[in-house]
Every structure is written in structure tokens, then in C-alpha cells.
Amino acid sequence: MSRPANALINEKSPYLLQHAHNPVDWQPWGQAAFARARAENKPLFLSIGYSTCHWCHVMERESFEDEDVAALLNSVAVPVKIDREERPDLDAVYMKACQMMTGAGGWPLSVFVDHQGRPFFAATFIPKVSRFGRMGMMELLPALANVWNNRPEEVERAAGNVHQALLRLGEEKPEGQGALAEPDSTLLDAAFDQLAQRFDQKNGGFGDAPKFPAPHQLLLLLRRHARKADRAALGMVLRTVEAMRLGGVFDQVGLGFHRYSTDAHWLLPHFEKMLYDQAMMLMACAEAYQASGEPLMERTAREVIRYVLSDMTSPEGAFYSAEDADSEGEEGKFYVWSVVEIRELLSPEDAALFIRLMNLRPEGNFAEEATGELTGHNIPHLSEWPGPEEERRLEAIREILFAQREQRVHPHKDDKVLTDWNGLMIAALAQAGRILGDGGALEAASRAADFILARLRTPEGRLLHRYRDGDAAIAATLDDYAFLIWGLTELHQATGDPVWLEAALELAGIMVRDFEDKENGGFFLTASDAEELLVRHKDFVDAALPSGNSAAMLVLTRLSRLCGRHELAEQAARTVRAAGPSLRVYVSGYTMLLCALDSALGRSADVVLTGPTPESLDPFRKALRSAHLPDTLVLERPEHGLGELAPYTAMMTPKDGKPTAYVCVSGVCQPAVTDPEAMLRLLRGGVY
């Protein structure tokens, strides 16, 4: 029998709606929850997670669906559910508090706060009852209630200390010992050295288990190869992508990358699929193909595109957020296969081939996470890429198994549309479409950009963060602006259409106006007029996603060159200086910021293409597609409107009526050339 709904029933977030029938009396974040807490003299319990989080599901089943836990929680606190993907600003503040208080973080994030929103207790997953040294909800809740009711001075002291620590962290200045007065290329070399030391020569990737994709690390290595012809850097990229593509972290039947690998061999994943992982891995694969010509890099890029366009795209052309790891209450059930099942579905010859190539075993290779016992099910994965004939047969088998798998109960799909993650996917599809000559990818990127610009903006032109079920809402963060601008500049580079550049420039003006730290440089996560939280967060570290500051620096550097706006270049420089001393301590934690720094430090090279018709420029476009020149920016046909944005192109016209390229190195234009190979020689001589 269905339970009565709580206050989450009217929310749009799939994560909040998952909890709308819990016996816990959940409230959405807002003033009403705080007013109730004050009226009842209770703390607030903030539970922060997302709809495709496996351990969030576990905690829900174990505690939030349990009548005893719910009754106790409702009696001692005002429970508040927060979708971290809808409210990254809240998640950033309370995750930082949890890390400061416990030395660790993760989701579900569980935080008890006072009536000012100040944390006094934080944890991640909390079981129902205490086990393995972790206090359970049934013991924790009475203990916290006792402290709240009987020792309020302890709560005040703890909450005050955490708040002051957060404020001090937010007030760090870029000046002082170790400050980056003028960042230089030694940072790039230091990051490469750190990555090389951590590189797993056998398995690919960096460090030991668990292993995350971290594609921005691969993008930095690709830039080192482009600058220095460093085959070792390129080799690390190729080995990592190959190992991931062969491993269980890639969905060998349905395509696309899972979230991360729990082991060092890329075999056992956490099975959720996130849009941002597909976007960033697509960028890395497309650039790796451009740099190396390796067929597996191209194949992987095209497979990611196929997965995203078939499984993660809305009818209107926007991109969904994620697919869950769990189905029917079990993690990975949708994705694993038994040997018996394979033999029932395929001919004996095909079954034998698939079992051999994909390393399936009768006892299984998929272990139950809690016990470590084999389940009899297998995660398909390859030891090496097969030859042409076996590859052809394997693709035919994959289609049979995919059709069969479609009949299973599917994992939950989080169908909300997020501006920032869509911006990343627009950038990835535009870049890959240009490199691979894939018109479908470019069309998909353009449709998504049209959707975001039309449906996720206020009448004043400011962005909104989330769209679902016809409703666009929630004030945009820095990431929304920076990532969407990134996507728009990539679309401009791929299509030559000035409309994307003009939209990017308009949004950049809003981003600088509303988010820049005018005193210290860099950008805050929230706008100057956003909801006031405990601290106005500013972050530079590149984690699962690049930081908003990294993307902001990258796009400002690009726009300054494309549009002749030198003040944008200075704002980009202030951003990296604001990263402060920590950048020198653990420089490989800032790899996307360093990609932007690499662009800013390099001798910038731009090429202006002009000709009697757009089609006449195709030979130049083909030459640029085949060359890995990651910082080269292209302006096409300045007589079609771009001359107003980039004044130095106004004088450029076709030479002798022929399609012509003007290569400009650090703002100085070289003599016009009409041969694509001559254009590439000038570009390589000027930059690489």
C-alpha cells in the first residue's frame, strides 16, 4: 500500500520525488523549513544526494523507508532533502563543511544544522544501526537530540567554529607566500611530472583503486604532446582510453562510460552513467584520435556519441542528466550476464566467441559488494581488441544482446536538463563533430544550444539552471555560464556561424558582471544577488567536473582572441592568479585550469578563412580537422558579420578571388596563403 505523500510531492527533482512517499516528513530546502525548526526548537537534518547515487538508495531503503527511523528522525529534527545537482551551491558549502569536520566527503551527505544553517554534525552514509565502527541512525539521533536540548552551548560552539572556518577559507587572498604573481610554464611541467609519477603503466589511469575517468588530465597531456611532441604524454592518454574502452567501466553492450572503476583494472564499475562523464571522455577521445590517428580512439568517440543521442537526448534536443546504477533494487543487475543466458540467446559459435572475448566465466566475475562473493553473473570486458573478422561478428552479437537487454527492467533515468552539463555536452559534440566530420553530432549540439538559449533564460537574458517537465527554474551558477559559453565557442569553431559567438560574448558579459570577485580575482560559484548562504563559495580544483573557474578562464581567453577584447584576457589572468598557493602544492589537481593556462601562455595562433563561398573553404577545414592544434582558433568569412567582433579581420579579403587563409600569431598576421598545407606550416611554426 502506498504511503501518503510528504512535502516533496510537488517538487520537480527526480531525486526529491524518489523520497516523496517516505515516512520521513521531508521538507524541501527553504525558509519554511527553517521557520518550522525555530517554532519546534529542533535542528534541521540536511540529506543531500542525487537520483542515480547507489549509496543514497541504500540509505533510503535501510533508514528513510523504515518506520522506526522515520518516527525518531521526525521527532528530533526537521528533515530536509536536497538534490545536489539542482543546488550545487548548497552542496558545495555543506560538503566543504563535512570535509573539514570529518576529513572525508561523499554522498549521501548527512548534515545537522542549527537555525542559521550552521553545521554542528556531519557524516556521509549512516546505517540504521551501528556497525563496523559507524554509528547508526537509531543511536545517533537520540544522542544529537540530547546535546541539542540539554547542552546548547556545545552546539553553539561547534556550529560557530565551523562557520568561522568556512569564512576564513572563503576569505583567502591570492597575495602572500607562494602566491602566483605571474604563473608560468613551470606549473605545466610540474603537473606533467606528478601525473607521470602516478601513471599506472600496466592498467592505464592514475593511481590505484578506485579509478575515475579524470579526462581533463588527459586533455592536459594532449596539450603537452601538441607543444613538445612528447610521445610519453600521448602514450599515457592512449593507454588509459584503451584500457577504459576494453574494461567493464565501458558498457560493452549498450555503449557509454560508467561513473568509475572500483578496482585498478577498470573491471568493476559503479554502474551509473553521468552526462558529464560522456561529455568529457568524448572530448578526450576525439582529441586523442586527432593527435594519433588511432582507430580505437575514433571508434570510442563515435560510440559515446551514439549512446548519448540514443539514450540521453530529449525529444526537444536537450540532454538528460544520468542513468542509475540500480534496477529492481540491485546495483548492476541491468548490465551483467550469466554464461547460461548467453548460450540460450546466441548460436553455439557466437556464444563461444562472446564468452571467450568478453572473459565470461560460469562462476561469474561480478562479486557482491558487501560479501565479495561471486554471483554467477559477468561484466563483459575485453583483454585486447579483436581482429577485423572477430570485431565484425562481435558487433552483430552486441546488437542481439542489446535488443534482449532492452526487455529488462531499465535503471531509472534522471531526465532533468541541467544547463551546465548540457553546455559540456554541446562543447564535446561540437568538437567531436568537427574532428570526425560528423554532421549528426554538430546538429545535435546546435539543437541543444537552441533549447538552452530559448528555454533556460529569464526575460533579462540571465540563465536558469534546471529544466524538467516544462518548468525552468533555479538561479544559474558560475558553472552554467562557463560551461555553456564553452559549448557556444566550440559550436562557433565547428560551424563558423557568428550567432554562437555573439551569444557566448553576451553571456560572458553577464558572467563577469554577476560572478567575478572584483577584489581578489576569480569567480564565485553564486551570483552577487543569489540567496545568501553561510559563505560565498569559490573553487578552483578540478574534480569529477572541471571547476567553473577553470572553464571561465578558458572561455575568457578564447573570447579575448576571437573578439579582440583584451580586458577579457586580463580577467582570465586574474583567475589563475587567484588560485593561490595551493596550485603550486598539488598542481595536478588543477589540470583543466592548466589547460586554460597553457592556452594563455602559448603564442596564440588564429586563422582567418575567407573565400567566395562557404564551400570553397572546405579544403582548409579538412586540413584543420586532421591536425591536432588544440589552441588554434578559427574565424570564417569575416565579411559575414565577424569583422565587427574581431577588428583585425576587417581588412582580410580573398586573395585573387581564391579561398584564402590568414594566419595570425600573437596578433601579427602573416602573408595570405591559398594552400592548406602552407597554412598548417605557418600554424605549427607559430605555436607548436
Write down the pLDDT at residue 176.
45
**Is the model's pLDDT at 180 over the cut of 70?**
no
Write down the pLDDT at residue 1.
46
- Over residues 230-239, the pLDDT tens digits come to 999 999 999 9
Contact in structure between 379 and 365 (CB atoms under 8 Å)? yes
Determine the residue type at 240: T
Distance, in Å, from the CA atom of 127 to the CA atom of 63, rounded to the nearest integer, reads 7
**What is each CA distance from 517 to 71, 581, 589, in whole angstroms?**
45, 17, 22
- Who wins on pLDDT, 579 or 422? 422
Write down the pLDDT at residue 172.
59
Residues 6+ apart with CB under 8 A from 483: 419, 420, 421, 422, 423, 424, 427, 548, 551
Identify the CA nearest to 444 among candidates 556, 348, 306. Answer: 306
**Is the model's pLDDT at 589 over the cut of 80?**
yes
Structure-derived torsion over alpha carbons of residues 552, 213, 308, 439, reported in degrees to the nearest 10: 60
Write down the pLDDT at residue 642.
44
Cell of residue 234, nine digits: 600521448
Give the confidence band of 655 by pLDDT, cuts at 50, 70, 90.
Answer: confident
Give the confidence band of 304 by pLDDT, cuts at 50, 70, 90.
Answer: very high
Write down the pLDDT at residue 638.
59
**Is the model's pLDDT at 651 over the cut of 80?**
no
CB atoms within 10 A of CB 131: 9
CB atoms within 10 A of CB 297: 23
How many Cα atoms are found within 13 Å in the side-chain-facing hemisphere of 493?
A: 31
Angle at 82 between CA 76 and CA 85, to 5 degrees: 160
Write down the pLDDT at residue 370.
66
Distance, in Å, from the CA atom of 522 to the CA atom of 519, rounded to the nearest integer, reads 9
Write down the pLDDT at residue 687.
62
The fraction of the chain above a pLDDT of 70, given in percent, is 95
Q: What is the mean pLDDT of residues 248-256?
A: 98
Place of cell 589537481: 589
Q: What is the mean pLDDT of residues 417-445?
A: 98
Write down the pLDDT at residue 177.
41
- Who wins on pLDDT, 345 or 368? 345
* Residues facing residue 117 across a β-bridge: none
Distance, in Å, from the CA atom of 487 to the CA atom of 136, rounded to the nearest integer, reads 45
Extended strands (E) in 7-136: 27-28, 44-49, 78-83, 109-113, 119-123
**Is the model's pLDDT at 649 over the cut of 70?**
no
State CA 341 to chain mean position distance: 35
The domains found in the chain, sorted by start residue, are 7-170 (3.40.30.10), 186-326+414-601 (1.50.10.10), 335-407 (no CATH), 605-687 (3.40.30.10)
Distance, in Å, from the CA atom of 236 to the CA atom of 413, rounded to the nearest integer, reads 33
Q: What is the mean pLDDT of residues 391-405?
A: 98
* Residues facing residue 327 across a β-bridge: 330
| Alpha-helical regions (H) of 41-181 | 54-59, 67-76, 88-102, 137-150, 152-170
Average per-residue pLDDT for the chain: 93
- Over residues 185-231, the pLDDT tens digits come to 899 999 999 999 999 999 999 999 999 998 999 999 999 999 999 99
**Is the model's pLDDT at 307 over the cut of 90?**
yes
Q: What is the mean pLDDT of residues 5-16?
A: 97
Write down the pLDDT at residue 133.
80
**3-class state of residue 374 by DSSP:** strand
Q: What is the mean pLDDT of residues 597-626?
A: 88
- Who wins on pLDDT, 527 or 374? 527
**3-class state of residue 304 by DSSP:** helix
Give the confidence band of 178 by pLDDT, cuts at 50, 70, 90.
Answer: very low
Give the confidence band of 181 by pLDDT, cuts at 50, 70, 90.
Answer: low
Structure-derived torsion over alpha carbons of residues 626, 219, 551, 273, reported in degrees to the nearest 10: 100
Burial per residue of 214-227, b for 16 or more beta-carbon CB atoms within 10 angstroms, e otherwise: bbbbbbbbbbbbbb
Write down the pLDDT at residue 657.
81
Phi, then psi, of 518 in degrees rounded to 5? -65, -25
Distance, in Å, from the CA atom of 530 to the CA atom of 524, rounded to the nearest integer, reads 11
Place of cell 510531492: 9
Give the confidence band of 184 by pLDDT, cuts at 50, 70, 90.
Answer: confident
- Over residues 437-470, the pLDDT tens digits come to 999 999 999 999 999 999 999 999 999 999 999 9
- Predicted structure pTM score: 0.96
Burial per residue of 51-85, b for 16 or more beta-carbon CB atoms within 10 angstroms, e otherwise: bbbbbbbbbbebbbbbeebbebbbebbbbbbbbbb
Q: What is the mean pLDDT of residues 254-274?
A: 96
Give the confidence band of 644 by pLDDT, cuts at 50, 70, 90.
Answer: very low
Write down the pLDDT at residue 645.
41
**Is the model's pLDDT at 571 over the cut of 80?**
yes
| 633 membership: H or E segment, kind and range | strand 633-636
Distance, in Å, from the CA atom of 629 to the CA atom of 226, rounded to the nearest integer, reads 7
Write down the pLDDT at residue 639.
53
Contact in structure between 416 and 470 (CB atoms under 8 Å)? no
